[in-house]
Chain A
Amino acid sequence: MAKEFELNEVEVWDGNYAASQALRQAQIDVVAAYPITPSTPIVEGYGAYVANGYVDGEFVMVESEHGAMSGCVGAAAAGGRVATATSSQGFALMAEVLYQASGMRLPIVMTVVNRALASPLNVRGDHSDMYLGRDSGWIQIDAFNAQEAYDLALCAFRIGEHLDVRLPVMMHQDGFTTSHKAQNVYPLKDDVAYKFIGDYVPVDDMLDFSRPVTHGAQTEEDWHYEHKAKQHKALMDSRTVIDDVFAQFKELTGREYNRVETYMMEDAEVALVLLGSSVETAVLAAKQIREEEGLKVGIVAPRCFRPFPYDLVRDALDTPSLKAVCCMDKSAPGGAMGALFNEVSASAYSTKARPIMTNYIYGLGGRDFAVDEAKRIMREQKAHADAGHITTDIQQFSGLRGPKLGFFQTRRG
């Protein structure tokens, strides 16, 4: 029996340690992992819990991230609670197996610490790896600080393992800005946390020798389409389970989470939509600019990146006062508009107001996104709103050295 870990009411944890503590409290059967910056301390911390008797489950050292996720798939198919952690290049190496995990409907939890993808090699936080996972069929939940990394990692097990969902879940946090920044975190006691998550309910045990099964069987053009449709429906339907788990978590802790977080949107004239640790920067900037300049700015932050909350983003943007929205993507767009811009614009198109939509690329490779820059972008949105059309290029780059870089102009106005 695993030892109880003595915890204070308030602990000073960084996002990595918070995530590793949540994994420990979940009493996972198998963790198969391969360390990579900046998520290494999650794996390292978990390894220490195992060595010191705080975990009953197995910790499997593997030869690569491809092996890590493959080990997770095998263990989950065998009927165990399974988790791992990764970042960036490791995430990219897992990509093939991510699709297998979701297609096989295995509720693996992966705590991802977002980091840029090479080349050039970079260990800092941006959302390239998170975006790489967005078509993989996983649920993707985004924590903006260490407390949320802890809370949402607990929720991730409840969501993914729910029998109506049975899908793998990624719990994202930003590399360094969240993963290595020590903050006050209010943890739950071990038994309270475990009770919230609950016992794992296995389905289709691979290791039931009296009922052998084939997992992830081959399906060609006659079956593949139906399986992918069913998987997509499970992902879309997980929205209500996520809402429900968040509601129960609020009941337990008083801490509220929503699939889309909105700040000051009630009377907003302009809004920024963004993800991750930058949300807190943007909220601070919005509060200041409201006080200092009377500019009514709101912030929209999709907490749940997949399934994309088309419904709630649309509701958030359906404010009559709203004139201009800037979607900010922290990932190299690779020859397109940013993914967040595309998806949020699609949601905004079905609102009555249909605000002006623009796109900023920012923060690549950990480039700082400061309050002053957030305010400058907010003022620029106000200029669009006043002019009634986009006064700049539709896609621009924030905090980039060299000549101004931008693409596409509006035909409205």
Chain B
Amino acid sequence: MSKGLEGNDNRGARELGAEKKVGWDEVTQGVVLNSFVGESKNASFLKPEERAYSDFNSYTATVASWRVIKPIYNRDICIDCQNCWVWCPDTSIISRDKQMLGIDYDHCKGCGVCVEVCPTNPKSLLMFNEAADNDVELENWPKKEKKTK
């Protein structure tokens, strides 16, 4: 059962390393960290939001503060070509059943590759200052560029 992207477990609940600090005697031997809570035989067949990620998995941590510019996604122009999903180096493009849903802002580091590979005119993804308001920018989205001979 999908929990849905919005009500997703504890994804992005904490900054990396901000979890409970334990002493040297309690840390895991060999820095061996389990990815999931309990057995997880079929994890690769589940959607990320359905997996029982452990608190040590980086999926449950956010690195949003590393980002200074961010991509904003415009659903009205997107053709669901999946280019951005393929190219994103941090699996931060959320796509389900070949339909683009948006950006995982908890793990996106603002590299801009998704914008670079977007083939639409105008682009369906553009980079903005981290502080930019998504709704305002979507209202002022650039118009289609005319071909020049």
B-contacting residues of A (Cβ < 8 Å)?
Answer: 103-106, 166, 203-204, 209-217, 219-220, 222-223, 225-227, 229-230, 233-234
B85 to chain A minimum Cβ distance, whole angstroms, is 23
- Chain B residues, CB < 8 A from A226: 22-24, 27
Total contacts A-B at CB 8 Å = 68
Of the stretches B37-45, B113-121, B136-144, the one at the interface is B37-45
**Could you list 25 A-B pairs, sorted by A, with CB under 8 Å?**
A104-B32, A105-B29, A166-B29, A166-B30, A210-B40, A210-B41, A211-B34, A211-B36, A211-B40, A212-B35, A212-B36, A212-B43, A214-B32, A217-B31, A217-B32, A217-B33, A220-B17, A223-B17, A223-B27, A226-B24, A227-B27, A227-B31, A230-B24, A233-B24, A234-B29
Q: Once the chains bind, are A209 and B41 in contact (CB under 8 Å)?
A: yes
Q: Which of B22, B24, B25, B35 meets A213, CB within 8 Å? A: B35
- For residue B146, CB closer than 8 A to chain A, the reply is no
A251 to B30, CA, bound (A): 33
- For residue B98, CB closer than 8 A to chain A, the reply is no
- Chain A residues, CB < 8 A from B22: 226
A227 to chain B minimum Cβ distance, whole angstroms, is 5
- Chain A residues, CB < 8 A from B43: 212
A106 to B14, CA, bound (A): 31
- Chain A residues, CB < 8 A from B105: none
Q: Once the chains bind, are A219 and B35 in contact (CB under 8 Å)?
A: no
A214 to B36, CA, bound (A): 10
Query: A222-B17, A222-B21 in contact; A104/B40 too (CB < 8 A)?
Result: no
Q: Once the chains bind, are A230 and B34 in contact (CB under 8 Å)?
A: no
Query: A210-B40, A222-B17 in contact; A230/B27 too (CB < 8 A)?
Result: yes
Q: Which of B17, B23, B33 meets A214, CB within 8 Å? A: B33
- Known pairs A211-B39, A212-B35, A212-B40; list 8 more (Cβ under 8 Å): A103-B31, A203-B29, A210-B40, A211-B34, A214-B32, A215-B31, A217-B31, A227-B31
Q: Once the chains bind, are A216 and B31 in contact (CB under 8 Å)?
A: yes
- For residue B56, CB closer than 8 A to chain A, the reply is yes
B26 to chain A minimum Cβ distance, whole angstroms, is 8
- Chain B residues, CB < 8 A from A223: 17, 27, 31
B43 to chain A minimum Cβ distance, whole angstroms, is 7
A229 to B25, CA, bound (A): 9
A77 to chain B minimum Cβ distance, whole angstroms, is 8
A210 to B38, CA, bound (A): 9
Q: Which of A212, A217, A230 meets B29, CB within 8 Å? A: A230
Q: Which of A106, A210, A225 meets B30, CB within 8 Å? A: A106
